[in-house]
Amino acid sequence: MALFSIDDLKAAQGLVYGQMQPTAQIHWPQLSARTGAEVIVKHENHAPTGAFKVRGGITFLNWLKRAHPEARGIVTATRGNHGQSQARAAARAGLEAHIYVPRGNSTEKNSAMRTYGGKLVEFGDDFDEAKDEAMRIAAKGDLFAVPPFHTELVRGVATYGYELLSVHPDLDTIYVPIGCGSGICGVISARDALGLKTKVVGVVAENAAGAKLSTEAGHLIETNSAATFADGMAVRIPVQAAFDIYSKGTNRIISVSEEQIASAIRTYFTDTHNLAEGAGAGSLAGLMSEAEMMRGKKVGVILSGGNIDQSWYRTVLEGNIPQL
């Protein structure tokens, strides 16, 4: 049974389109020549905040104002794109946004979150430690805890999948990066609402492969670290609610190396002159790793975000991998 109906997604679109335009889905012949597939890129790097997460922030804060009018603000954790989305939406709703990030987080994403109005707190060595602290703080006061995965976040995010599949219902496969899981669950939800047979392939970083390991095992598996420069995929502890959806709704989940992610970032630049962050390039890295299997098929890849620090981008374009 689909998580959302067509009416649910159209209602979400009404909210999202009050603050942004639909993003483009573009056929790039350069990528098709490189992979042998007909490649359609969904350009969430062109959304406000530069990433798909902005959609979920819009729908979540709309729900929060209605369901919890007493809340004076929100508290959440992020590596950057979720935090930008929540800070932007909270400011527009007249609420405070307290955002926890791990130490050593992206300098430029931190700056963006502050610019959108977020009150930034650095805590812990990775996303999961920052998340635990944010949820602890939320439990003590009148700030509403925004988890990394929530139905209202997914409903907003699902609008990009609905846009893509409404224009290209004949896609054989869509590759989607997995962090906490809202993006891939949004695509699965849109596909199911439309009643399509499109296969969904999840992509994780080799160094943060919890979603893949969990799906293969049939239960959640935590990893000891998530040391990938693809910070949007750097999650040690999979989210149960997301796992319940993507473990059943994906055709498979594959992993890509740091070298493959860096290669995909360079490919986006050379072939399309688009900026992709590590997680944003993950889906193309996945397609490139399975190019022979996908030859002759019509394939979608989600360029989920373009928010990569200048120093890391320079390193990647020079043929190297950013050091954490």
The full set of domains in the chain, from first to last, is 6-51+151-317 (3.40.50.1100), 53-145 (3.40.50.1100)
Q: What is the mean pLDDT of residues 174-202?
A: 98
The pLDDT tens digits of the residues spanning 270-313 come to 999 999 999 999 999 999 999 999 999 999 999 999 999 999 99
Query: In percent, how much of the chain has pLDDT > 70?
Result: 100
pLDDT at residue 1 above 70? no
3-state secondary structure of 298: strand
pLDDT band at residue 39, thresholds of 50, 70 and 90? Answer: very high
Residue of 257, 255, 252, 275 lying closest to 265 (CA atoms): 275
CA 293 vs. chain centroid, Å, equals 25
Structure-token pair, residue 232: 């949007």
The reported pTM is 0.95
Find out whether 204 and 213 touch, Cβ atoms under 8 Å. Answer: no
* Ordered DSSP codes for 95-143: -EEEEEE-TT--HHHHHHHHHTT-EEEE-SSSHHHHHHHHHHHHHHSSE
